[in-house]
Amino acid sequence: MSYSTNQPTKNISLFKTLPFHLLIFAALIVIWELTNLYGFEDQIQADMIAPRPTNIVLAMLDILIVDKTVWKHLISTFQKALLGASIGTAIGMGLAIAATLSLTFRKYIKPWIILMEATPRIAVGPIFVALLGFGLWSAVALAALVAFFGPFVNTFQGLMEVDDEAEEMFRSLGASRFQTFWKLRFASAMELISAGWKLATASAFGGALVAEFIQASEGMGVLIAQYVIMITMDYAFAGLLSVTIFGFILFKIMDYFDYRLIFWKNDYLLLKESEKRRKKAGIVS
């Protein structure tokens, strides 16, 4: 006999499943729309709890294309999050590299890191806002503080996990310390490191948004909160959806960079790259 959960997942092409996906999605939307129209006694209450999907789409068109209100705030939030993620990543990776290179540093930094991990770092938000003001920098600082942990842990773990045999080979080839670090440790850690970047970006968004909720002059956090206060829930949903959509695009771009950057994990790219290098070195195969 075989166990039901362990049958291989059938490979059905997207072509076949797509209609069902769309059907389910459409059904959900229709149910939602009908709930809004007929499920509540009070229309205001209905729009408060579940604004109609058609209204949300109209609101999205409005804020993205007609009125273009969202762009200023969207750019502001993305700017804060990306700046924060970059700064946090630089700090996290720097600390991780220092920790792998020096045993003493690693030993003394460990309790601090545990303490940092357990503290909900986002909670520092009000302090940053009180000190750095309502503008860009309080949000960037909070985003960086929240973001630094992912790259730190991933870089550290990646750099510490080195294939012993490869290290032996590097030694027998007489590689310098720098070469071993750069071409072996760093290269093999690259996958984890880039996963850390993605973690950093995701958490930096959280940090930037929280800083904006606490107090800010612009940004998606402010915009969504304003829409909610004006009880225009469809607009609030539209704002939320634009964050989702552009966040999704950003992550897709990061995925693509990953794919190109870590070319040695993909057979096709690896072949192409080595062909290029052979030509450059003047080796004709």
Q: Note the residues at the interface with other proteins (CB under 8 A).
A: 1-6, 9-10, 17, 20-21, 24, 48-49, 108, 111, 115, 117-120, 122-127, 129-131, 202, 205-206, 209-210, 213-214, 220-221, 224-225, 227-229, 231, 233, 236-237, 240, 243-244, 247-248, 251
Looking at the Cβ atoms of 108 and 182, the one nearer to other proteins is 108
Looking at the Cβ atoms of 8 and 282, the one nearer to other proteins is 8
Q: How far is the CB of 16 from other proteins (least distance, A)?
A: 11
Quote the CA–CA distance of 153 and 196 in Å, as a whole number. 8
- 206 exposed, middle or buried (CB, 10 Å; 0-12, 13-18, 19+)? middle
The residue whose two tokens read 């469809």 is: 234
Q: How far is the CB of 244 from other proteins (least distance, A)?
A: 4
Report residue 49 as tokens.
């709890």
Q: How far is the CB of 174 from other proteins (least distance, A)?
A: 37
Looking at the Cβ atoms of 53 and 206, the one nearer to other proteins is 206
Query: Between the CA of residue 73 and those of 59, 197, 231, 253, what are the distances in Å?
Result: 16, 24, 19, 21
Q: How far is the CB of 155 from other proteins (least distance, A)?
A: 19
Looking at the Cβ atoms of 9 and 176, the one nearer to other proteins is 9
Report residue 60 as tokens.
């999205």
Q: How far is the CB of 126 from other proteins (least distance, A)?
A: 3
Q: How far is the CB of 40 from other proteins (least distance, A)?
A: 14
Looking at the Cβ atoms of 186 and 213, the one nearer to other proteins is 213
Number of Cβ within a 10 Å radius of residue 131: 10
Looking at the Cβ atoms of 125 and 151, the one nearer to other proteins is 125
Quote the CA–CA distance of 100 and 159 in Å, as a whole number. 7
In one letter, which amino acid is 13? S
Contact status, residue 48 vs residue 233, Cβ threshold 8 Å: yes
Contact status, residue 180 vs residue 172, Cβ threshold 8 Å: no
